Chain A
């Protein structure tokens, strides 16, 4: 039965996240971007909303539509600061994969630290080839007696420094596998990246795997291959949610400005060239958030949602980039200067839309 009505619980979570985004995240976003560091007040506040804890805590495992709820919260967080949202989404991605697909032992060992009052980080990465300064010719994954051996790297990893583990998505013998790699494993090298286009507070690094051995006990699910598609789908839903939030921030900022900015004797909002841009933003934002929520609802009742999740992310990536772009344009020169958030949103929109696979909802 088709319904667009949020449950009371979802509405409460959304509203709490929205309040935090307005009061704490948005005001701190510019300074965080300049300093390339998320302030702990913002991070602690977002962490305290509890979506990572709910994923990791067995007590919440009976929750209805957890992915929908996470998507709603991530959207609101990203409307305040996409950097903070992405940090939380990284831990959600890791913890959710372990909670849903880990063996009993993996769950017991890896999840309790996430049920905590202080933020804990872990991320999902894709083994995507050799790094520029690597000696390895190609990324490779081989089966060895007691597990897997990894060579290659992940070019852009968020929050690698504070993270404890990386859930590494690989292909082995033609099958998708998810391998849990503690960051202190021999052969794992983290190299800080100095300066990124956007989402600058995420302390980006590249991670090289120089012949890293992952024991079979750290293969997600242990005895069989994990459903990696599900992990990817959750990542795309998270991205769609965050892109929706970011787009809303642009729209909400541009709309009142366009009504007060007088050019040639009248507000620019009264000119179709500007009014139509805003109308298009409004339409696209509504469409993208429902696409993400549809994919989330699908993932909550089926093992995977490859089509809806991918299409949601594709649509949101395109639309959010366009919205951030037009947001800058509405403000003209003011959109280009760093006093206002438009240029930051423009950079962040480009960054979020290429982060396929690094986060989760």
Chain B
């Protein structure tokens, strides 16, 4: 039977996460002029606050499921702006889980492993990867050379899982993944990238110059397995977009309320104030996106990550955040521009969701190929 009702435990976790998000909100702007700082492991207010992720693990049987609730907890983090407690959603770890051996998993599962995919000439086209991993028959090590850009957790991670082109005398050329630990000679992290928004996020370029890693570090993740991690993460990115959009909508409704404009769920859009009408349409889009995200995660809980449903959620979330934050400033006028209010920051932060982990266009390609039964060659 279909149901969209939270369990008691779902509600409790989400409400606690919202409470904590509000506690963290006062730190949300700390990185605006301090982009080189890294997010603290926890803010002082975290003391005495339960760790909602730990509660989710402990009481998962009483919830609507780990995947659904975890995504909705991320929504709450982004509602506040920065997480009260850092809990990294790192794709390198996901690929390790998917493609690594038991020994490899044991060695790195409790480390933060960034993912090194994007290169200066290959953002949306990871197959164009130029970074190489050359097999050295003498040392039996892999020698990595190349450059990666826009890498999340570049500075704070313990290691990076790099997608590279395999050069092996006895093997065909192919893409595979290698774990390069921090401190490996030849592995360098560039300066923090200056971004429009999400300035608290640790983002930098990586370079590899004759960087030698042991054969054990070869995690046999091809491009397909690497991209599979996106099927888990894309609806989570859409949940981020929901959090930012919710914050913008809530703030705007309060300001409109102070000006005497309230939503009327019964009146036609045409007979209520333009501001209310616009926001109601966006509320509808918010709700549509929420369902798409929860559905993708529901499917993941039952059958494993669904590639197409994930892309659907991501496409919706990416566009929602753009539209909502643009409209909210438009509705409130010049007052929305001031850094004294939240909108200008939400507007800048929100723009990333339709770009990273696959642009909206990439999501649409994935969806379109699926519904049309086309291969990447037939539709690109």
Contacts and interface: CB of A to CB of B under 8 A. Distances in A.
A301 interface: yes
A291 B2 CA distance: 12
A237 B134 CA distance: 60
Contacts of B1: 3, 5-7, 10, 64-65
**Interface SS, B side:** helix
B312 interface: yes
A276 B378 CA distance: 14
Contacts of A298: 4
A96 interface: no
Contact of A278 (B3, B10, B298, B371): B371
Contact of A287 (B3, B280, B288, B363): B288
B291 A275 contact: no
A286 B295 CA distance: 10
Interface residues of A, number: 47
A2 interface: yes
Residue among A287, A308, A315 with the most chain B CB within 10 A? A287
Interface in B255-302: 265-266, 268-269, 280-281, 283-285, 287-289, 291-292, 294-295, 298-299
A282 B367 contact: yes
Interface of A: 1-7, 10, 64-65, 68, 229, 232, 255, 258-259, 269-270, 272, 275-276, 278-280, 282-284, 286-288, 290-291, 293-294, 297-298, 301, 306-308, 310-312, 314-315, 318, 356
B371 A293 contact: no
B7 interface: yes
A10 B298 CA distance: 19
B284 A318 contact: yes
A316 B335 CA distance: 32
B298 A2 contact: yes
A1 B7 contact: yes
A353 to B, nearest CB: 11
Contacts of B283: 311
B371 A2 contact: no
Interface residues of B, number: 43
B364 interface: yes
B364 A275 contact: yes
A288 B3 contact: no
Nearest to B372: A269
30 contacts: A2-B3, A2-B5, A3-B3, A4-B2, A6-B1, A10-B2, A229-B266, A232-B266, A269-B374, A270-B378, A272-B364, A272-B368, A278-B372, A279-B364, A279-B367, A280-B315, A282-B371, A283-B312, A290-B295, A291-B288, A291-B291, A297-B3, A310-B265, A311-B287, A312-B284, A314-B281, A314-B284, A315-B284, A318-B281, A356-B268
Contact of A306 (B265, B284, B312, B316): B265
Given A2-B65, A287-B289, A65 B379 contact: no
B274 to A, nearest CB: 15
B90 interface: no
Nearest to B9: A1
Contacts of A278: 368, 371-372
Nearest to B294: A2
Contacts of A6: 1-2
Contacts of B285: 315
Given A65-B2, A283-B315, A314 B364 contact: no
Nearest to B295: A4
B312 A291 contact: no
A294 to B, nearest CB: 5
Contacts of B268: 356
Contact of B287 (A286, A291, A306): A291
Given A10-B2, A290-B295, 14 more contacts: A2-B3, A2-B5, A2-B64, A3-B298, A64-B1, A278-B368, A279-B367, A279-B368, A283-B315, A288-B288, A291-B287, A307-B265, A311-B283, A315-B288
Nearest to A315: B284
Contacts of B372: 255, 258-259, 269, 275, 278
B59 interface: no
Which among A258, A307, A308, A310 has the greatest number of chain B C-beta atoms within 10 A? A310
Nearest to A251: B371
B281 to A, nearest CB: 6
A255 B371 CA distance: 8
B27 interface: no
B276 to A, nearest CB: 12
B376 to A, nearest CB: 12
Given A1-B3, A2-B68, A315-B284, A279 B378 contact: no
Nearest to B309: A286
Contacts of B378: 270
B89 interface: no
B241 to A, nearest CB: 14
Contacts of B316: 283, 287
A319 to B, nearest CB: 8
A9 B269 CA distance: 36
B379 A270 contact: yes
A177 to B, nearest CB: 15
A229 B372 CA distance: 42
B216 interface: no
A310 B368 CA distance: 30
Most central of A258, A278, A283 by chain B CB within 10 Å: A283
A314 B280 contact: yes
Question: What 7 pairs across the A-B complex have the smallest Cβ distances?
Answer: A275-B368, A287-B288, A315-B284, A2-B64, A279-B367, A314-B284, A311-B284
A352 B36 CA distance: 54
Contacts of B65: 2
Interface in B337-380: 361, 363-365, 367-368, 371-372, 374, 378-379
